[in-house]
């Protein structure tokens, strides 16, 4: 055996005796418990996906995506209205929440003097809003659309307002993080040349922060697309049998359809609900993958 190998083995022994305190029964049990904690959630997730996928597998067919919901012919019931509805809701939610969220974040990061009491109030308020239950945003959305003169009838606008309110704090918080990651040097360089605060924000800070903002926005939207609670409150039905046509057309959404199917006892409908869950999970996974892709591809490291 070579000298080097012997030394290496000795070193290992030294290190392992040094760590022997961490090898007592108590320590090992503790470490095992930590491992268990870490992987418990992942195991649950795996069981969930496998269970739902097996239950839904008879319905992985094209009718699932192209047909409207039907209780009359449950073996070919589909989620066309829900999938389209969810996509429409996502679009209008983004149109409402993204510009407002970015604007609010830019004000708080680039313009507001954090020493002022009203700006501090906005801060605390935002942290609070981020933890308001989703269903409460549904109640607010009902009030907002009735102010606009609409009844609580499950239209695109109502759903989009509810979801936009829900993800607005998320977008504001992630945008602020992205903006804050742009080095102060860049802003100072721009201001020292005689640029105004807005010119600096628009031409320097914002372009550099866009990948981070896009990532945060997409993650916010992926949360919105899976949400059902506020949609129930604004009156979305599970049983819409036509495509959305405009802001005021009645719609349903994929999670709403899943929710309403769970109260049906027919086995075919349970199977369809399982298959629809897989569709919903794939949509959400797709959005998350897109967000991660954008982050890895475009994120600047300063």
Partner 1 sequence: MSTHPATASTRPASEDSREISMTGIGSESEREIPDIPPNPVMEALKLNVFYGDFHAVHDVNLSFGKNEITALIGPSGCGKSTVLRCLNRMNDLVSGARVEGEVTYHGQNIYARNVDPIAVRTQVGMVFQKPNPFPKSIYDNIAYGPRVTGMKVENMDDLVEEALRAAALWEEVKDKLKQSAYGLSGGQQQRLCIARTIATKPDVILMDEPCSALDPIATSRIEDLMVGLRDDYTIIIVTHNMQQAARVSDRTAFFTARPDETTGNRTGLLVEFDRTSNIFANPNDKRTEDYISGRFG
Partner 2 sequence: MSSIVTTGAGPSPRGTGLPAAPNLRRKARPVESVIRAFLMVSALLSVAITIGIVAALIQPVIEFFREVPFGDFFATEGEYAVLPLVAGTAMTTVIALIVAIPLGLGAAMYLSEYASARARKILKPTVELLAGVPSVVYGFFALTFVTPTLLQDILNLEVGFTNALAAGLVLGVMIIPTIASLSEDALSAVPHAMRQGSLAMGANRMQTTLRVVLPAALSGVAAAIVLGLSRAVGETMIVALAAGAQKNLSIDPREGMQTMTGFIAQTAGGENAVGSTSYNTLFAVGLLLFAITLVINIISIALVRRFRQAY
**Residues in 231-270 at the binding interface with partner 2, rule: CB under 8 A:** 232-233, 235, 255, 258-259, 262, 270
Of 8, 121, 247, 289, the one binding partner 2 by CB under 8 A: 121
Q: What are phi and psi of 233, to 5 degrees?
A: -70, -40
**Binding-residue total with partner 1 (CB under 8 A):** 21
List all residues 6 or more positions away from 99 whose beta carbon is below 8 Å from its beta carbon.
none
- Helix, strand, or coil here: 132? coil
Minimum separation from the CB atom of position 8 to partner 2 (A): 21
The dihedral sign for the CA sequence 273, 279, 284, 285: positive
Binding characters for partner 2, 60-89, by CB under 8 A (x = yes): ------------------------------
The owner of tokens 């607010």 is 140
Q: Is 131 in the site for partner 1 (CB under 8 A)?
A: no
Binding characters for partner 2, 128-167, by CB under 8 A (x = yes): xx-xxxxxxxxxx-xxx------xx------------x--
Minimum separation from the CB atom of position 183 to partner 1 (A): 8
Stretch touching partner 2 by CB under 8 A, among 59-67, 186-194, 205-213, 274-282: 274-282
User: Cα–chain-centroid distance for residue 128?
Assistant: 18
Minimum separation from the CB atom of position 35 to partner 2 (A): 7
- In contact, 259 and 88? CB cutoff 8 Å: no
d(CA 215, CA 295): 6
Of 122, 191, 237, 284, the one binding partner 1 by CB under 8 A: 191
Neighbours of 254 (CB within 10 A): 24
d(CA 276, CA 253): 11
- In contact, 179 and 109? CB cutoff 8 Å: yes
Q: Is 299 in the site for partner 1 (CB under 8 A)?
A: no
Output 133 or 189, the one with its CB closest to partner 1: 189
Of 31, 71, 95, 289, the one binding partner 2 by CB under 8 A: 31
Q: Which one, of 6, 214, 42, 206, lies nearest residue 110 by Cα?
A: 206
Stretch touching partner 2 by CB under 8 A, among 70-78, 105-113, 203-211, 244-252: 105-113
Q: Is 270 in the site for partner 1 (CB under 8 A)?
A: no
Stretch touching partner 2 by CB under 8 A, among 57-65, 184-192, 206-214, 278-286: 278-286
d(CA 109, CA 25): 51
Neighbours of 49 (CB within 10 A): 13
- Token pair, residue 43, equals 């195991």
Q: What are phi and psi of 250, to 5 degrees?
A: -70, 140
Of 12, 30, 207, 266, the one binding partner 2 by CB under 8 A: 30
d(CA 69, CA 44): 30
- In contact, 231 and 255? CB cutoff 8 Å: yes
Per DSSP, which regions of the chain are E strands? none
Residue 291 touches which member of partner 1, partner 2, none, C-beta under 5-8 Å by kind: none
Of 3, 5, 15, 124, the one binding partner 2 by CB under 8 A: 124
Stretch touching partner 1 by CB under 8 A, among 25-33, 141-149, 204-212, 271-279: 204-212
Minimum separation from the CB atom of position 121 to partner 1 (A): 16
Footprint on this chain of partner 1 (rule: CB under 8 A)? 113-115, 183, 185-186, 188-196, 199, 203-204, 207-208, 300
């Amino acid at each position: 055996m070579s000298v080097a190998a012997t030394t290496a083995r000795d070193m290992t022994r030294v290190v392992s005796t040094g760590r022997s305190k961490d090898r007592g029964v108590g320590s090992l049990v503790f470490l095992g418990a930590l491992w268990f904690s870490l992987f418990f959630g992942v195991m649950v997730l795996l069981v969930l996906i496998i269970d739902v996928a097996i239950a839904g597998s008879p319905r992985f067919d094209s009718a699932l995506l192209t047909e409207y919901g039907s209780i009359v012919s449950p073996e070919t019931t589909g989620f066309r209205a829900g999938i389209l509805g969810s996509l429409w809701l996502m679009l209008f939610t983004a149109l409402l929440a993204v510009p407002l969220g970015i604007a609010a974040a830019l004000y708080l990061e680039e313009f507001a003097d954090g020493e002022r009491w009203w700006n501090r109030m906005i801060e605390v308020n935002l942290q609070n809003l981020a933890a308001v239950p989703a269903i409460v945003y549904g109640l607010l959305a009902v009030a907002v659309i009735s102010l606009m003169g609409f009844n609580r009838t499950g239209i695109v606008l109502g759903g989009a307002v509810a979801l936009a309110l829900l993800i607005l704090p998320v977008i504001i918080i992630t945008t602020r993080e992205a903006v804050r990651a742009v080095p102060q040097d860049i802003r100072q360089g721009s201001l020292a040349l005689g640029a105004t605060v807005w010119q600096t924000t628009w031409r320097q800070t914002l372009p550099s922060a866009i990948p981070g903002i896009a990532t945060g926005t997409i993650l916010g939207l992926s949360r919105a697309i899976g949400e059902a609670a506020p949609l129930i409150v604004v009156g979305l039905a599970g049983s819409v049998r036509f495509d959305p046509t405009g802001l005021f057309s009645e719609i349903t959404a994929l999670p709403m359809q899943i929710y309403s199917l769970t109260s049906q006892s027919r086995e075919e409908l349970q199977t369809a609900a399982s298959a629809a869950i897989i569709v919903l999970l794939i949509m959400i996974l797709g959005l998350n993958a897109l967000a991660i892709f954008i982050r890895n591809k475009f994120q600047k490291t300063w």
